[in-house]
């Protein structure tokens, strides 16, 4: 069946996608909340920047991240000053790149979920003595739960399917940056079509199951009444 | 004793709310006006859901807002009932009731139980909001606002989203609130019948300004209000049930200045009631009416006359003992009767609405 290298690549992919999704929950939620609630003139610009990875070729995103995190880039200088070297061709470099790459897949479903809640439940919570933070955890989170599930699934799956950014930032280091999509590329390059088939089938089945889960999930009926 | 001082100015494009009110600290005060009059905006300013451009808000000696102070809504000891019940769909009825109660220092277990009892929702506690009828939801919404142990209850047209039958279902509960609560209640409404039935004090708003402000009876009896109630012009009299005539199923209600017979509603003698007499149901005669189907005939003196909305109509205010009634007459019949201030007339009342 799958070779040890394949399994290693799959394990690395899952770890990368899991960590990325976790980080995205933490930074995507406030961004989505701000985009959903703010009336600032900057809203359009910030929304466009968040959506950029949807349309940008992954190689372009990877290129800029590589420059930023490289020895001459601002991020690279900073990380070197901290004494942790530079991030390209490391696992954490991949994580940071994936966070940018999958940001819209976290922010947009969350923003939609927050907007669908509207003002009223927040006002009700305020009249029932809930502070804004309390209200977020006791009302917004439960009401936006379907949005959080969708955003988490999409971010995870999208990170699993990442290829171009990984090649630009991470290269192809076994056990460190060689994720499943790159492993398939290697198999094909080496004419190992059998191995490529098996791993590709795993990815296909995984992607299908994710989308199946998304599309058959009970639609959210919890609207404020 | 005025315990609600409300000064509030709100500037929005195309709309300015500018009020300065001193309201009683007990009973139900109705904020009445057509849509766009600013009544809901005023209530939201009091709750802190809107931030007025300038404002000073003192409730029972506590400053909720002035030039230095701004208490956010969650720090104001109020209860708020929205037009739609707006229950939290992710919580059951009890969870909704306990949401505010848990977070309020002034709430007690007793306040929650009282609210459940007062609104008659004890059998609904485990239900999800989606499974409740519109009337039940609104009762839960009111109980939820009461369960925080508020010092003032603000209600924004709690019946407006309901059909007539649901309204009739909730009105008795609102009357119970009126009788049993000792906190002031501000009630926004555009429905004259609700106001006549529930309010003690009436504030009439139009175009963001206060047109009238005073006790219900005296304010409704004013002829000079620029905001017209149309078919609903009339007065509300405080009365008591004096006698019940079982044979004819009628009850006599006595008010300051006379008595009226009305359908018996099963109320015992001695019960305090409100009687609403609409101007369109009152007619005048100069001579004692001969045989007539109208049994309620009172003696009165014309106190003043005023134009009505329609050029063919007049409103006539009649002093009957210590009370005032309003009659709507055609201008022609008023001329033929030679109606003038100080004239003694017989007042015929065709029908009255009895409210507990």
Residue B96, domain CATH: 3.40.50.300
| B104 inside 8 A of chain A by CB | yes
Domain boundaries, chain A: 4-224
Is B37 exposed, middle or buried (CB count within 10 Å of its CB: 0-12, 13-18, 19+)? buried
| B103 inside 8 A of chain A by CB | yes
Give the total residue count for chain A: 225
Query: Chain B residues with CB inside 8 Å of A123's CB?
Result: 49, 73, 82
- Per the domain annotation, does B260 fall within a domain? no
Mutation target among B86, B115, B140 for the A interface, most CBs of A within 10 A: B86
Domain A4-224 class, CATH top level: mainly alpha
- Partner-chain residue, chosen from B85, B104, B137, that has the shortest CB–CB distance to A129: B104
Q: Which domain holds residue B326?
A: 234-238+273-355
Assess whether B208 and B290 both reside in one domain.
no
Assess whether B57 and B186 both reside in one domain.
yes
Q: Which residues of B305-315 are buried (b: 16+ CB within 10 A; e: fewer)?
A: beebeeeebbb
- Per the domain annotation, does B138 fall within a domain? yes
Q: A222 has which bridge partners?
A: none
| B271 inside 8 A of chain A by CB | no
- Per the domain annotation, does B59 fall within a domain? yes
Q: Which pLDDT does position B225 carry in this prediction?
A: 74
Count of Cβ atoms closer than 10 Å to residue A169 Cβ? 27
Assess whether B183 and B332 both reside in one domain.
no
Assess whether B193 and B289 both reside in one domain.
no
- Per the domain annotation, does B17 fall within a domain? yes
Residue of A nearest to B143 (CA): A128
Assess whether B183 and B301 both reside in one domain.
no
Query: Chain A residues with CB inside 8 Å of B103's CB?
Result: 128-130, 134
Q: Is A128 within 8 Å of B144 when comparing Cβ atoms?
A: yes
Give per-10-residue mean pLDDT for chain B (356 aa).
Answer: 83 91 92 91 94 90 91 94 93 95 82 90 94 93 93 93 86 87 92 89 92 90 73 87 89 90 87 90 86 84 88 91 91 89 91 78
Assess whether B215 and B291 both reside in one domain.
no
Q: Which pLDDT does position B161 carry in this prediction?
A: 83
| B51 inside 8 A of chain A by CB | no
Q: Which pLDDT does position A225 carry in this prediction?
A: 46
Q: Is B90 within 8 Å of A142 when comparing Cβ atoms?
A: yes
Instruction: Label residue A5 by pLDDT band (50, 70, 90).
Output: confident
pLDDT, one tens digit per residue, over A163-182 is 888 888 887 888 888 889 88
| B112 inside 8 A of chain A by CB | no
- Partner-chain residue, chosen from B84, B103, B137, that has the shortest CB–CB distance to A129: B103
- Per the domain annotation, does B244 fall within a domain? no
Q: Is A127 within 8 Å of B87 when comparing Cβ atoms?
A: no
> What total number of domains does chain B contain?
2
What would the mean pLDDT of A142-165 be, rounded to a whole number? 92
Percent of chain A whose pLDDT exceeds 90 = 67
pLDDT, one tens digit per residue, over A102-130 is 999 999 999 999 999 999 999 999 999 99
Assess whether B52 and B201 both reside in one domain.
yes
Q: What are phi and psi of B150, to 5 degrees?
A: -75, 160
Q: In angstroms, rounded to a whole number, what is the distance separating the alpha carbons of residues B225 and A62?
A: 72
Our CA-based measurement puts residue A113 at a distance from the nearest CA of chain B, in whole angstroms, of 15
Query: Chain A residues with CB inside 8 Å of B149's CB?
Result: none
Assess whether B214 and B279 both reside in one domain.
no
- Partner-chain residue, chosen from A120, A128, A132, that has the shortest CB–CB distance to B148: A128
3-class DSSP assignment, residue B5: strand
Residue of A nearest to B48 (CA): A127
Q: Is B99 within 8 Å of A221 when comparing Cβ atoms?
A: no
Q: Is B90 within 8 Å of A120 when comparing Cβ atoms?
A: no
Sheet hosting strand B209-215, strand order edge to edge: B78-81, B152-156, B185-189, B28-32, B201-206, B209-215
Q: In angstroms, rounded to a whole number, what is the distance separating the alpha carbons of residues B330 and B315?
A: 9
Host H or E run for residue B262: strand B258-263
Assess whether B36 and B183 both reside in one domain.
yes
Host H or E run for residue B319: strand B313-320
Using the predicted structure, report yes or no on whether residue A222 has a pLDDT greater than 50.
Answer: no
- Per the domain annotation, does B131 fall within a domain? yes
- Per the domain annotation, does B264 fall within a domain? no
Runs of H (alpha helix) within chain B = 39-47, 93-103, 109-119, 134-146, 164-180, 192-198, 216-220, 331-336
Assess whether B198 and B67 both reside in one domain.
yes
pTM score over 0.90: no
Our CA-based measurement puts residue B350 at a distance from the nearest CA of chain A, in whole angstroms, of 43
Q: Are A179 and A16 in contact (CB under 8 A)?
A: yes
Mean pLDDT of chain A: 90
pLDDT, one tens digit per residue, over A28-45 is 999 999 999 999 999 999
Assess whether B32 and B160 both reside in one domain.
yes
Q: Is B82 within 8 Å of A222 when comparing Cβ atoms?
A: no
pLDDT, one tens digit per residue, over A66-91 is 999 999 999 999 999 988 888 888 99
Our CA-based measurement puts residue B29 at a distance from the nearest CA of chain A, in whole angstroms, of 20
Task: List the CATH number of the domain containing B286.
Answer: 2.40.50.100
Query: Chain A residues with CB inside 8 Å of B140's CB?
Result: none
Query: Chain B residues with CB inside 8 Å of A221's CB?
Result: 130
| B100 inside 8 A of chain A by CB | yes
Q: B326 has which bridge partners?
A: B317
- Per the domain annotation, does B255 fall within a domain? no
For A105-169, list the strands marked E by DSSP. Answer: none
């Amino acid at each position: 069946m799958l070779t040890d290298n394949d399994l290693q690549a799959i394990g690395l992919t899952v770890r990368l996608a899991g960590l990325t999704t976790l980080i995205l929950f933490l930074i995507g939620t406030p961004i989505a909340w701000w985009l959903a609630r703010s009336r600032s003139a900057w809203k359009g610009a910030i929304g466009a920047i968040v959506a950029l990875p949807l349309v940008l070729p992954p190689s372009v995103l990877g290129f800029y991240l590589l420059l930023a995190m490289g020895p001459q880039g601002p991020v690279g200088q900073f990380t070197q000053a901290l004494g942790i070297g530079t991030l390209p061709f490391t696992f954490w470099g991949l994580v940071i790149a994936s966070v940018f790459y999958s940001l819209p897949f976290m922010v947009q479903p969350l923003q939609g979920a927050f907007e669908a809640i509207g003002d009223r439940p927040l006002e009700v919570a305020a009249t029932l003595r809930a502070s804004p933070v309390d209200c977020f955890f006791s009302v917004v989170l439960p009401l936006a739960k379907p949005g959080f599930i969708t955003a988490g699934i999409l971010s995870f799956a999208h990170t699993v399917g990442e290829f171009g950014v990984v090649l630009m930032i991470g290269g192809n280091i076994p056990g460190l940056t060689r994720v499943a999509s790159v492993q398939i590329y290697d198999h094909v390059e080496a004419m190992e079509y059998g191995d490529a088939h098996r791993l590709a089938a795993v990815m296909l089945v995984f992607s299908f199951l994710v989308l199946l889960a998304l599309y058959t999930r009970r639609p959210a009926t919890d609207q404020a009444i | 004793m005025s315990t609600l001082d409300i000064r509030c100015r709100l500037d929005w494009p195309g709309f300015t709310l500018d009020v300065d009110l001193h309201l009683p600290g007990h009973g139900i005060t109705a904020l009445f006006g057509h849509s766009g009059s600013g009544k809901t905006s005023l209530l939201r300013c009091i709750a802190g859901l809107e931030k007025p451009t300038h404002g000073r808000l003192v409730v029972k000696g506590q400053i909720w807002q002035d030039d230095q102070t701004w208490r956010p809504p969650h720090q104001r000891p109020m209860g708020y009932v929205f037009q739609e019940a707006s229950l939290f769909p992710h919580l059951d009825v009890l969870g909704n009731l306990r949401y505010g109660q848990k977070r309020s220092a002034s709430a007690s277990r007793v306040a929650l139980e009282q609210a459940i009892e007062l609104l008659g929702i004890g059998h609904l506690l485990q239900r999800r909001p989606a499974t409740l009828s519109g009337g039940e939801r609104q009762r839960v919404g009111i109980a939820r606002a009461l369960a925080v142990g508020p010092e003032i209850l603000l209600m924004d047209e709690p019946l407006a989203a309901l059909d007539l039958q649901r309204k009739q279902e909730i009105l008795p509960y609102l009357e119970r609130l009126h009788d049993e609560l000792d906190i002031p209640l501000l009630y926004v409404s555009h429905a004259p019948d609700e106001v006549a039935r529930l309010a003690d004090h009436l504030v009439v708003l139009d175009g963001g300004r206060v047109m009238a402000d005073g006790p219900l009876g005296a304010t409704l009896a004013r002829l000079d209000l620029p905001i017209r109630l149309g078919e609903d012009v009339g007065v509300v009299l405080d009365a008591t049930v004096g006698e019940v005539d079982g044979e004819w199923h009628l009850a006599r209600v006595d008010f300051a200045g006379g008595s009226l017979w009305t359908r018996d509603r099963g109320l015992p003698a001695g019960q305090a009631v409100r009687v609403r007499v609409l101007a369109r149901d009152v007619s005048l005669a100069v001579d004692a009416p001969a045989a007539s189907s109208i049994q309620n005939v009172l003696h009165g003196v014309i106190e003043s006359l005023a134009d009505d909305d329609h050029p063919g109509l007049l409103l006539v205010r009649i002093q009957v003992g210590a009370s005032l009634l309003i009659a709507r007459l055609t201008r022609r019949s008023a001329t033929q009767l030679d109606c003038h201030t100080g004239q003694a007339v017989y007042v015929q009342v065709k029908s009255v609405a009895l409210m507990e």
